[in-house]
Amino acid sequence: MVHRTPPCRAPEVAPAPASPEQAWLPYQPGDGRPWNLGVAAHLLRRAGFGAGRARLGQALEAGPQGTIDALLRPEADTAAFDRAFDEHEGRAAETGGEAALRSWWLRRMLETPHPLQEKMTVFWLERAAADGARAGEARVLLEHVRLLRQHALGDPRTLLASLLRDPAMLLGHGGEAGRRSRPNERLARHLLENVTLGPGNFSPEDVHEAARALTGGFVQGGRYAFVPREHDAGVKRILGREGNFSGDDLAGILCEQPAAAESLARALYRWLVADEDEPERALLAPLAEAFVREHDFGQLVETVLRSNLFFSARAYRRKIKSPLEYALGLILALEGMVSTTELAQDLAALGQELFRPPSARGWAGGRRWIDEATLARRHNLAADLLRGAGRYGDRLDPYEVARRHGCEREDSAARFLVDLLLQGDADLDAGALLQAAQEAGGNPAATLRAFARALARVPEYQLA
């Protein structure tokens, strides 16, 4: 069954820009161009995984451009945070394997002072789509995600060249033995079709010649090794270029193609702006042209986040939350921490198991995140997170969060939660929901848990 995206009653959102030139200009609040709770929450959902009321308040005070400055260049000591979590994740990979590593990465996403970097790491994880089941060791996956994080907002040429020496990438796409006599076209096709150029922008000959450029690369004992005698040193002809190309050369050639610039711009549009429409080429052209000039993916991300288009009705609530965004957004909003071991298992049941993409195309996303079964599982996950007992314990307490922010009475706490989770977008009868929660609850804490569960189930809450 296909679920249509529900109409969303947005609380004052700017109209869509009239032209591609206007679309990517920096957004400045003014007449018909608001900066309010809904728009601030929109930014923090897309450039991270959501936020609590204190963080939303900081964003309201800083304004859109000031908030984006902080997202791009956090004031917190990110290096110290990364060192601590690198150590935790390293031990987890050694002692607990892939499941433990997955759990620690989810915790990192919840605690990171640099949520934009982590969000874009997930972007590249999906694009690389390396199959963790073939990696063999959790250490290999750990190095893979560290590589993606390091280059997530940098030069894609450097990222791609690094991926071509990354054991998880090679193992995940059958490229662990780059023999001169048997060039691996599976890995080469994935690079051209799913990572860079997109379908229809290359020939079978380009795939074969790219595979020749990758010969000599092997994975031995979970490490990358280049074996010179296995490298095909002959002339290759790739996308109109001719030479004795290596993997590094291939990375540069692919990233220089206009098709790669457009493909990455389109993917970034779907990731940050909307997955409900197909952007016209004229709209993407300024982004693609900037990429060809600069090869700076971080600058491309910044352009999108600062833009008129990003803060317009064309983007607002126009993405369906992934299971990851759904769960982490609820946890962050309620200022708590839960067992990420349990959470990882529940996200896998919802179709998003980190390190285990369903195909070489990664996760399809969009409308495919929701069907009758997964929607019911989302509701069950919200119920489990907010039950106050059981697998997740009592770590999320909506009433305590509301009281912390000055809302002591049940009715004021309920209004607080509506603003926190939905920012007034949903056309719902909050009074009736509260009355039903009171009947199911029995005391203020139980009532507000039941009320928050109801809010997490409304159609609008499924939208980012």
Residue 427: predicted pLDDT: 84
Tell me: do 394 and 284 sit in the same domain. no
Residue 442: predicted pLDDT: 83
Is 405 within the bounds of a domain? yes
Tell me: do 329 and 267 sit in the same domain. no
Residue 26: predicted pLDDT: 96
Tell me: do 342 and 429 sit in the same domain. yes
d(CA 100, CA 393) in angstroms, rounded, equals: 20
Is 263 within the bounds of a domain? yes
Q: Which of 102, 98, 137 is nearest to 324 (CA)?
A: 102
Q: What is the pTM of this model?
A: 0.95
Tell me: do 456 and 346 sit in the same domain. yes
Tell me: do 428 and 401 sit in the same domain. yes
Is 406 within the bounds of a domain? yes
d(CA 300, CA 267) in angstroms, rounded, equals: 12
Tell me: do 276 and 350 sit in the same domain. no
Average pLDDT of each block of 10 consecutive residues along the chain (464 residues)? Answer: 40 87 95 94 98 97 97 95 97 96 98 98 97 92 98 97 98 96 96 97 98 98 97 98 97 97 97 92 96 96 98 96 98 97 97 96 93 95 96 96 97 96 90 91 93 96 95
Tell me: do 360 and 393 sit in the same domain. yes
d(CA 346, CA 338) in angstroms, rounded, equals: 12
Is 148 within the bounds of a domain? no
Tell me: do 291 and 396 sit in the same domain. no
Is 224 within the bounds of a domain? no
Residue 289: predicted pLDDT: 96
Is 143 within the bounds of a domain? no
Domain ranges, residue 409: 323-462
Tell me: do 335 and 285 sit in the same domain. no
Phi, psi of 239 (to 5 degrees): 50, 45
Tell me: do 364 and 439 sit in the same domain. yes
Residues 6+ apart with CB under 8 A from 442: none
The one-letter amino acid at 382: A
Helical H runs in 307-362?
323-333, 340-349
Residue 9: predicted pLDDT: 47
Mark 185-219 as b/e (b = at least 16 C-beta within 10 Å). Answer: bebbbbbbbbbbbbeebbeeebbbbbbbbbbbbbb
DSSP secondary structure letter of residue 415: H
Tokens 């296909």 found at: 2
Residue 424: predicted pLDDT: 85
Tell me: do 298 and 413 sit in the same domain. no
**Domains identified in the chain, total number:** 2
Phi, psi of 310 (to 5 degrees): -60, -35
Residue 11: predicted pLDDT: 57
Helical H runs in 223-295?
247-255, 258-272, 281-294
Tell me: do 336 and 457 sit in the same domain. yes
Is 456 within the bounds of a domain? yes
Residue 441: predicted pLDDT: 75
